[in-house]
Amino acid sequence: MDSSYLTKRYQHPEPNILADIGTLAATTKNAIDLSIGDPDFTTPQAIIEASFAKTKQGMTHYTEANGLPELRQAIGDYYQTKFNLVFTMPQIRVTVGASHALFLALAVLLNPGDEVIVPQPSFSPYPEEVKAAGGVPVILANSAENGFAIDPKAVEKLITSHTKAVIINSPNNPTGNVMSNSEAKQLAEIAKQHHIFVLADEVYSDYLMPGQKFIPFATFAPENTVTLGSMSKSYAMTGWRIGYLLGPEYLVTAAKLVNEGITYSAPTPSQNVALFAITHADEFIPSFAQAFAERLTYINDQIAVTDWLSVAPIEGGIYAFVDIRKTGLGSVEFAEQLLQQAGIIVVPGLAFGQAGEGFIRIAATQPLETLKLAFQRLRELDVTKLSKE
């Protein structure tokens, strides 16, 4: 037997650049890894101990399928207190990370052939999740000259009778763009008019650069919005695999049916850790947010004095999307040479869609001293030689 027994989609899969980079980062010794979107911070000890205490007390069984009631209530309270948004308990589901939440939403929304608009550059799994749920991703290429902002009118032009949703991510991975209120309001009106959903991935909402303000998309179109959230970035909890889905009650109820045979519920220890984290958010998030803002400011300043580099405006998130077009190299080739000649691992912009070509993503997930060493190596590169090889 061989791969011909697999579903046709996986017999000859397209290259997964982001996954390949992850493997490279895990297996390359002595390289400076600026690729992975995993904060270098360890989950705060108080959060860990809160989970372990309940585990030791015997809380090792399934929770309710939608999640611990106390955690769902805490998520609802968080949104009401911070954003003045009201989500009732039946509108809240705990998931195994935000990607799981996205898949559940797509699975309950899409009939075979339904379309989902995916603005790019974007987190690379988006189109694949649409396909896995039976849908067709329709790519909207955002413009580097516009800071990769989503143009609501461009979204509207792609809407057909088969369109069910558009996926947005603000603050954006990889570009750092934060959707403005004006853009959000326009897109919200378009969603209402055409009866489509906005699947709002807001996992970086706590990380903003000075002068920026985050407002959940559900503020503008609550009936048309599915919010995808995660504890991974805000609380340095990537390995705990815990997130949530917020949306209309009928959609969250259907998501429970889809998930019955997938994960049933999220891991109990992870739910307990999430409960402690979100109810003590003000104790943990500010220090992480300050560190990322300092690192991104440093990256931005270093790029500004490197004449063969420039960067998309960094408004939020934990990444810098760096323009390398002056080198004359494609993003994959540049990333390969950067590793070979400088020992630095970055993600080629092509991993985030064709609109990302000519860029690389630098993750601010290393200490400032490590970033300083990386840029010292960058400045020592012979760009002329680099571009000829």
Separation between Cα atoms, residue 227 and residue 245, nearest integer Å? 6
Instruction: Give the DSSP H/E element, type plus range, for residue 117.
Output: strand 115-120
Residues 91-100 have a mean pLDDT of 98
Residue 26's pLDDT band, with cuts at 50, 70 and 90, is: low
Q: How many CB atoms lie within 10 A of CB 56?
A: 9
More confident residue, 289 or 6: 289
Residue 68's pLDDT band, with cuts at 50, 70 and 90, is: very high
Of 201, 202, 206, 244, nearest to 91 by C-alpha is: 244
Separation between Cα atoms, residue 11 and residue 343, nearest integer Å? 34
Of 219, 231, 149, nearest to 191 by C-alpha is: 219
Residue 340's pLDDT band, with cuts at 50, 70 and 90, is: confident
Taking every pair of Cα atoms in the chain, the longest distance, rounded to a whole number of angstroms, is: 63
What whole-number percentage of the chain has pLDDT above 90?
Answer: 87
How far is C-alpha 331 from the chain's CA centre? 20
pLDDT recorded at residue 263: 95
pLDDT recorded at residue 7: 81
Res 158 pLDDT > 60: yes
Tokens standing for 6?
């697999």
Separation between Cα atoms, residue 337 and residue 324, nearest integer Å? 12
Give the global pTM: 0.94
Of 88, 39, 72, 87, nearest to 278 by C-alpha is: 72
Residues 124-149 have a mean pLDDT of 97
Burial 368-387 (b: 16+ CB within 10 A, else e): eeebeebbeebeebebeebb
Pick the range with the lowest mean pLDDT from 261-270, 316-325, 337-346: 337-346
**Contact assessment for residue 162 and residue 113, using Cβ atoms and an 8 Å cutoff:** yes
Residues 56-73 have a mean pLDDT of 97
Pick the range with the lowest mean pLDDT from 1-15, 159-173, 318-332: 1-15
**Contact assessment for residue 56 and residue 268, using Cβ atoms and an 8 Å cutoff:** no
What whole-number percentage of the chain has pLDDT above 70?
Answer: 95
pLDDT recorded at residue 8: 81
- CA torsion angle for 201, 296, 183, 224 (degrees, to 10)? 10
Angle of the 98-109 helix axis to the 125-132 helix axis, nearest 10: 40
pLDDT recorded at residue 151: 98
Q: Do 61-281 and 3-43+283-379 have the same topology in CATH?
A: no
Res 254 pLDDT > 80: yes
Q: Provide the 3-class DSSP secondary structure of residue 167.
A: strand
Map out the domains of the chain as residue ranges. Answer: 3-43+283-379, 61-281
CATH for 61-281 is 3.40.640.10
Question: 238-253, pLDDT tens digit by residue?
Answer: 999 999 999 999 999 9
Report how many helices (DSSP H) and strands (DSSP E) the chain contains, helices first.
14, 13
Mean pLDDT of the chain: 94
pLDDT recorded at residue 336: 87
Res 19 pLDDT > 80: no
Cis peptide before 248 (omega within 30 of 0): no
pLDDT recorded at residue 62: 96
Res 9 pLDDT > 90: no
Of 368, 350, 370, nearest to 121 by C-alpha is: 350
Residue 262's pLDDT band, with cuts at 50, 70 and 90, is: very high
Separation between Cα atoms, residue 171 and residue 317, nearest integer Å? 5
Separation between Cα atoms, residue 87 and residue 73, nearest integer Å? 9
Q: How many CB atoms lie within 10 A of CB 278?
A: 20
Tokens standing for 311?
């960067």
CATH of 3-43+283-379, picked from 3.90.1150.10, 3.40.50.10860, 3.90.1720.10, 3.30.1330.10, is 3.90.1150.10
